Amino acid sequence: MVLATGGTIAGTAASAGDNVGYSAAQIGIEQLLARIPALQGLPVLAEQVAQIDSKDMDWDVWRALAQRCAHWLAQDSVQGIVITHGTDTLEETAYFLQQVLAPAKPVVLTCAMRPATALLADGPQNIVDALAVAAWPGAQGVVAVCAGVVHAADDVAKVHPYRLDAFGSGDAGPLGHVEEGRLRLLRNWPVAPVNTAPSAIENIAKAQQLPRVEIVLNHAGASGAMVRDLVAGGVRGIVVAGTGNGTLHQGLEAALLAAQAGGVALLLASRCANGSIVRHAAGPIRMHARSAVKARIDLQLELLA
Ligand code: ASP
């Protein structure tokens, strides 16, 4: 089952030579799939869940996508799901779906760095590779496929604004590679980290919005001003991306601890691209092992529950 959400993979430019000046989310999924000769005759169905540039990803699309995934995953005739998605927030959607679905079947997000009208578009090959992973015996969990590389939802992050191979898995490394329709698996399929799936999908069906959680970054000259503004604005949670091993400017830290004392939920992540915080003793702010954008999803789901 292919669920489409838009992105550059469905984008169009005025000229075939233009790989960057395009509009994302223009072409419907049926049309995109019809252009790929390798798919003709295969038992592949498609549904357009949304048609957006993933920079604008929001709760309505996430909720609809999670519900459509849950619906199709429950059908015995469905072996796996492929989701076409923009690259910009792909890692967030992948992580969100892993946390709420924890699927025993594969849910494979794929994308493109060049629009569908490009002379050498990367989208069709990515779709073919993603379908190969979704159909692979034993495949499970939420993963991303781009430029022949398979990444686990927990680890995947966009690491390049232009290169076709735009994603990385940090220290963990990729799950595997797709080569001529065959999967070369390097490590085990992701398994459900927490048993939140049954209640999570019920909770999100009821929620009109996710609780408001914002991300704050530590940096040279950071102060607590932004945190105080957020608290005044009624924020429910703050994820702070600390420098290095989760360090915080003293002014920022003081404002965060005051917010926490006032009932705002905090999570500390590292702004480093690789690794996660190594603590020698429990600090005053709960840590998260993943990136700030993924920590934000966990805190939102926690507050929702
Ligand atoms: N802005 C686009 C999106 O995320 C970028 C892409 O798909 O590559 O939808």
The ligand 1 atom nearest the CA atom of 88? 4
Q: Is the pLDDT of residue 257 over 60?
A: yes
144 domain residue, yes or no: yes
Q: What is the CATH number of the domain that holds 219?
A: 3.40.50.40
Neighbour count for residue 179 (Cβ, 10 Å): 11
One domain, residues 164 and 222: no
One domain, residues 165 and 246: no
Report the chain's mean pLDDT, rounded to a whole number. 95
Closest CA to 146 of 174, 173, 171: 174
193 domain residue, yes or no: no
Mean pLDDT of 37-50: 96
Q: How far is the CA of 104 from the centre of ligand 1 (A)?
A: 28
Q: Which pLDDT score, from 0 to 100, does residue 282 have?
A: 78
Q: What's the structural domain count of the chain?
A: 2
201 domain residue, yes or no: no
194 domain residue, yes or no: no
The set of catalytic residues is 8
One domain, residues 46 and 169: yes
**AA identity, residue 247:** T
One domain, residues 161 and 112: yes
77 domain residue, yes or no: yes
11-14 LR contacts (CB < 8 Å, sep 24+): 11/112, 11/115, 11/116, 11/117, 12/115, 12/116, 12/117, 13/115, 13/117, 13/118
Q: Is the pLDDT of residue 277 over 80?
A: yes
One domain, residues 8 and 132: yes
Q: Is the pLDDT of residue 298 over 90?
A: yes
155 domain residue, yes or no: yes
Give every CB contact of residue 55 below 8 A, 6+ residues apart in sequence: 86, 88, 89
> Which of 137, 168, 185 marks a domain boundary?
185
Query: If pLDDT is split at 50, 70 and 90, which confidence band does 43 have?
Result: very high
One domain, residues 168 and 57: yes
Closest CA to 164 of 109, 112, 119: 112
Give the 3-state secondary structure of 74-135: CCCCCCCEEEECCCCCHHHHHHHHHHHHCCCCEEEEECCCCCCCCCCCCHHHHHHHHHHHHC
Query: If pLDDT is split at 50, 70 and 90, which confidence band does 59 have?
Result: very high
pLDDT digits (tens, 9 = 90+) for 178-226: 999 999 999 999 876 555 555 778 888 888 899 999 999 999 999 999 9
Domain span at 117 = 2-185
Mean pLDDT of 22-48: 97
Pocket-forming residues, ligand 1, beta carbon under 6 Å: 7-8, 24, 53-55, 86-88, 111, 113
One domain, residues 35 and 177: yes
Query: What predicted TM-score, i.e. pTM, was given to this entire model?
Result: 0.96
Q: Please, what is the Cα angle at 167 between 222 and 108, to 5 degrees?
A: 120
Q: Which pLDDT score, from 0 to 100, does residue 146 have?
A: 99
State the DSSP string of the chain.
-EEEEESGGG-EESSTT-SSSEESS-S-HHHHHHT-GGGTTS---EEEEEEE-GGG--HHHHHHHHHHHHHHHT-TT---EEEE--STTHHHHHHHHHHHH--SSEEEEE--SS-TTSTT-SHHHHHHHHHHHHTSTT--EEEEEETTEEEETTT-EE--SS-SS-EE-GGG--SEEEETTEEEE-SPPP--SSS-HHHHHHHHHH-SS---EEEEE--TT--SHHHHHHHHTT-SEEEEEEBTTTB--HHHHHHHHHHHHTT-EEEEEE-SSSS----SS--SS-B-SS-HHHHHHHHHHHHH-
Mean pLDDT of 49-71: 97
One domain, residues 111 and 69: yes
Q: What is the CATH number of the domain that holds 69?
A: 3.40.50.1170
Q: Is the pLDDT of residue 161 over 70?
A: yes
62 domain residue, yes or no: yes
223 domain residue, yes or no: yes
Q: How far is the CA of 15 from the centre of ligand 1 (A)?
A: 18
Percentage with pLDDT > 70 across the chain: 98
Mutate to test the pocket of ligand 1, among 27, 55, 109 (most ligand atoms within 8 A of CB): 55
Q: How far from chain centre, in Å, is Cα 223?
A: 30
Q: How far is the CA of 187 from the centre of ligand 1 (A)?
A: 28
Poorest-pLDDT segment among 106-115, 175-184, 281-290: 281-290
Mean pLDDT of 145-171: 98
pLDDT digits (tens, 9 = 90+) for 64-87: 999 999 999 999 999 999 999 999
Mean pLDDT of 22-45: 97
